[in-house]
Amino acid sequence: MFTRSSKWNVKSIILLALIGIILGVIYTYGFNWAFNLVKMMLLPTGYAPVTDAVFSGLWLIAGPLAMYFVPTAGSGVVGETLAAVVEMVIGGQWGATTVLSGLIQGATNEIGFFPKKERYQKFSWQSVLTGAFFAGLGSFIPTYFLYGWSKFNVKLQIIMFVTMMLSALLFDGVLVKLVTNLFDRALKPKID
């Protein structure tokens, strides 16, 4: 039987490390490649910056997955930051800013769960979607300033904000919750 351990122990640390490594590799060799291809195709349209917003939710997945497998405060920050470190180390295109982004995204994702231990353990739709919403904000705000989005016209800024929030809710919220529901059905985990 699979156990979702809410205790910081060797097993939970190894599990978070695996989540970080696997998703860091997926981010770099999967999502980044697709992102670059789509952005390049949209360059002539003037809407290439919207690609950042469309794909943003994909880079938020490590945090909630870490909180599902290790349902305790801080696991989302650790999982997302580890994924960001792996992405940076193996050649992610955003360099060291990736780690800062991972730290912010993991911390803001935990808002949906923190401070109640039961929220981590239940991993409810409400907690996951609230976490996804705040992770979307945690992506948008630093990106807005770091990459000069304030220079875009207001219409494009609104499109990018709405798209980024929808991407976070879809990928970081709905997709992650559906995947973890499959884990629940297949593994029938208990929580200690």
Percentage with pLDDT > 90 across the chain: 79
pLDDT (tens, 9 = 90+) of the chain, 192 residues, equals 678 888 899 999 999 999 999 999 999 999 999 999 999 999 999 888 888 899 999 999 999 999 999 999 999 999 999 999 999 999 888 889 999 999 999 999 999 998 888 999 999 999 999 999 999 999 999 999 988 999 999 998 999 999 999 999 999 999 999 999 999 999 888 877
pLDDT for position 2: 75
The secondary element (H helix, E strand) that includes residue 114 is none
Average pLDDT, the chain: 93
Write down the H helix ranges in 9-74.
Answer: 10-26, 32-42, 50-56, 62-69
CB 18 within 8 A of CB 83: no
Cis amide leading into 49 (omega within 30): no
Alpha helices in 73-175 (DSSP H): 75-89, 97-109, 117-122, 125-146, 154-167
Q: What pLDDT score does 1 carry?
A: 60
Q: Give dist(CA 82, CA 64) in Å, integer.
A: 13
